[in-house]
Amino acid sequence: MKGHIGKTNFNKKYKDKLGPEYIIKVYDPKIKMQGFLVIDNTVLGPGKGGIRMTPDLTEEEIFRLARAMTLKCALVGLPFGGAKSGIIWNGGPDELKKQFVQSFAKLIKTFTPKKYIAAPDVGTGEKEIQWFVEATGDCRSATGKPENLCKKIIKGRKKIGIPHEFGSTGFGVAQSTKVAAEVLGIDIKGATVSIHGFGNVGFFVYKFLTEMGANVIAIADISGVIFSKNGFNRNLIEKLVKEKKAVIQYKGKAEKLKPEDFWKIPADILIPASVTDVINEKNKDKIRTKIIVEAANIPMKETIEEELYKKGILIIPDIIANAGGVISSYAEHRGYSIEKMFNLIKRKIEKSTTLVLKNSLKKKLNPRKIAIELAKEKIVFMNNE
């Protein structure tokens, strides 16, 4: 196929001892597909990170996400490096979306899977990952595939896909939330929770936390906010998600609020599970919570995170909280069963969250600073081996 692949002059402030190793722009003039791939660091293994498809995607955003993956994989002890990719996507029929994904896949094929292993992200799911794998012709080029796409026998075990639709990221966020609540002496049973973003991650955070006994009192998506101090009817919520309806179409008892009103709602735990920089200068001063658990990748800039931490809010950074997705990817890469995958996530998330919070309290530092310090130590150690 015809297309362009080229290097880019990246802002010097993002270049450091960790990376990035590769920054690639691709363009297919036939269909006007534009995409980015940033492979940040591969000291621990091939760069791991999802494919994001949004209309306002930027090179800087992809780099920030790739760096988060570098630190995340190191922190939870996975043999992966950090990477991220993205396609500028303004919407359209599936036929066109498939062309975009497969054009992108073919243009970056030379990097997969030795330097980059893809996965689902915002705007992509198992369907898009199937298209990607079909275009690269290599099942190892991505995780988050449909369960039976690449089934084969390896050492007597069935190697299968583990779609993110099983809820691995949300499960990990729930485990991290429970640990954080325990650290502050909050009983997760009855703890009030608000969730911003109700896609795959947000829904499974809701599911697993309510199973633990938490009281989710507010849910927001792009359509608006539903609020109920007594929580929501789980069956009605599940029906809403199954039918792919907006949260304001919830049929149970709840107040319907404007999107900007979400941040004013007091809750023990706030979980941003939507988009990049969703917590920003416009809403940061409205937030009333004890704990923020970052289910989304880079939901706020580090300067805002530090400001909220100094106000007394305990913040569990994305590189710990949402690592369930990449742990699931590793489980799929190794051919583990679904049950073994969930057990691995629980063990690794609990361990990393506890370690970071223990050191954060001891040193009186923002948990992100501790997490980054621990992750960098592992990368530098392996790089010197």
Residues 238 and 365 in one domain: yes
Instruction: List the domain range (segments joined by +) for residue 138.
Output: 4-72+84-161
**139, part of any domain:** yes
Residues 203 and 328 in one domain: yes
**34, part of any domain:** yes
The residue that leads in pLDDT, 156 or 33, is 33
Question: Is the confidence at residue 285, as pLDDT, over 80?
Answer: yes
Q: Residue 51's pLDDT is what?
A: 97
Q: What is the mean pLDDT of residues 201-219?
A: 97
Question: Is the confidence at residue 110, as pLDDT, over 90?
Answer: yes
Residues 113 and 200 in one domain: no
Q: How many domains does the chain have?
A: 2
**178, part of any domain:** yes
Q: Which of 2-6, 92-96, 176-180, 288-292 has the lowest mean pLDDT?
A: 2-6
Q: What angle do CA 364, 376, 51 make, to 5 degrees?
A: 110
Residues 174 and 142 in one domain: no
Point out the catalytic residue in the list 48, 72, 84, 369.
84
Residues 246 and 353 in one domain: yes
Q: What is the CATH number of the domain that holds 153?
A: 3.40.50.10860
Domain end residue (candidates: 161, 185, 219): 161
Question: Is the confidence at residue 157, as pLDDT, over 70?
Answer: no
Q: Is 127 a catalytic residue?
A: no
Residue listed under structure tokens 């009333």: 288
Residues 12 and 110 in one domain: yes
Q: What is the mean pLDDT of residues 291-311?
A: 96
Contacts (Cβ under 8 Å, ≥6 apart) of 301: 277, 280
Q: What is the mean pLDDT of residues 202-231?
A: 97
**79, part of any domain:** no
Q: Residue 163's pLDDT is what?
A: 55
Q: Which of 89-98, 143-152, 246-255 has the lowest mean pLDDT?
A: 143-152
Q: Structure pTM?
A: 0.86
Residues 223 and 246 in one domain: yes
Question: Is the confidence at residue 199, as pLDDT, over 70?
Answer: yes
Look at residues 4, 72, 68 and name the one whose alpha carbon lies nearest to residue 38.
68
Q: Residue 1's pLDDT is what?
A: 44
**215, part of any domain:** yes
Q: Token pair of 105, please?
A: 């896949």
**385, part of any domain:** no
Question: Is the confidence at residue 2, as pLDDT, over 60?
Answer: no
What is the radius of gyration, based on Cα positions, of the chain?
20
Residues 304 and 224 in one domain: yes
Q: What is the CATH number of the domain that holds 258?
A: 3.40.50.720
Domain end residue (candidates: 113, 144, 161): 161
Look at residues 170, 71, 161, 107 and name the one whose alpha carbon lies nearest to residue 378.
71
Domain end residue (candidates: 108, 137, 161): 161
Q: What is the mean pLDDT of residues 36-59?
A: 96
Q: What is the mean pLDDT of residues 77-88?
A: 97
**77, part of any domain:** no
Residues 94 and 238 in one domain: no
Question: Is the confidence at residue 165, as pLDDT, over 90?
Answer: no
Residue pLDDT, tens place only, 327-375: 998 988 888 888 999 999 999 999 999 999 999 999 999 999 999 999 9
Residues 116 and 197 in one domain: no
Residues 133 and 28 in one domain: yes
Look at residues 213, 220, 124, 224 and name the one whose alpha carbon lies nearest to residue 174.
213
The residue that leads in pLDDT, 298 or 89, is 89
Mean pLDDT, all residues of the chain = 92
What is the C-alpha end-to-end distance of the chain, expressed in Å?
41
Q: What is the mean pLDDT of residues 52-80?
A: 95
Q: Residue 216's pLDDT is what?
A: 98
The residue that leads in pLDDT, 22 or 160, is 22
In angstroms, rounded to a whole number, what is the distance separating the alpha carbons of residues 111 and 116?
6
**384, part of any domain:** no
Residues 147 and 204 in one domain: no
